[in-house]
Amino acid sequence: MKKSEKIWMDGEFVNWNEAKVHVLTHALHYGSSVFEGIRCYNTIKGPAVFRLDEHVKRLFDSCKIYRMELNYTEKEIKEAILDTIRENRLKSCYIRPLVFRGYGEMGVNPLNNPLHVMIAVWEWGRYLGEEALEKGIKVKTSSWSRMAPNTYPFLAKAGGNYLNSQLAKIEAVLDGYDEAVMLDTDGYVAEGSGENIFVIKDDVIYTPPTYNAILKGITRDFVIKIARKMGYTVREERIPREMLYIADELFFVGTAAEITPIKEIDHYKIRENKITRKIQDKFFEVINRCDPEYMTKV
Q: Which of 78, 138, 157, 169 is catalytic?
A: 157
What is the pattern of x (binds ligand PPE, CB under 6 A) and - over residues 109-148? ----------------------------------------
Number of C-beta neighbours around residue 219 at 10 A: 22
**Positions in 32-51 near ligand PPE (CB under 6 A):** 37
Rule CB under 6 A: say whether 219 interacts with ligand PPE. Answer: yes
Determine the 3-state secondary structure of 279 from DSSP.
helix
The reply to whether 269 belongs to the active site is no
The amino acid at residue 152 is: Y
Rule CB under 6 A: say whether 255 interacts with ligand PPE. Answer: yes
Helix (H) or strand (E) holding 226: helix 218-229
Pairing of strands 12-15, 6-9: antiparallel
CB of 162 to ligand PPE, least distance (A): 7
Backbone φ, ψ for residue 5 (5° rounding): -90, -50
Q: How many residues does the structure list for the chain?
A: 298
Instruction: Specify the residue, 181 or 215, whose C-beta has the smaller distance to ligand PPE.
Output: 215
Determine the 3-state secondary structure of 202 from DSSP.
coil
First to last CA, the chain: 23
Q: How far is CA 237 from CA 12, 132, 189, 258, in A?
A: 45, 27, 10, 22
What is the pattern of x (binds ligand PPE, CB under 6 A) and - over residues 4-33? ------------------------------
Helix (H) or strand (E) holding 93: strand 93-101
**Positions in 182-201 near ligand PPE (CB under 6 A):** 191, 194-196
Q: Which of these segments, 110-118, 218-226, 228-236, 278-286, binds ligand PPE (CB under 6 A)? A: 218-226
Instruction: Specify the residue, 113 or 144, whose C-beta has the smaller distance to ligand PPE.
Output: 144
Instruction: Specify the residue, 25 or 193, whose C-beta has the smaller distance to ligand PPE.
Output: 193
* Site residues (vs ligand PPE, CB under 6 A): 37, 165, 191, 194-196, 215, 217-220, 254-257
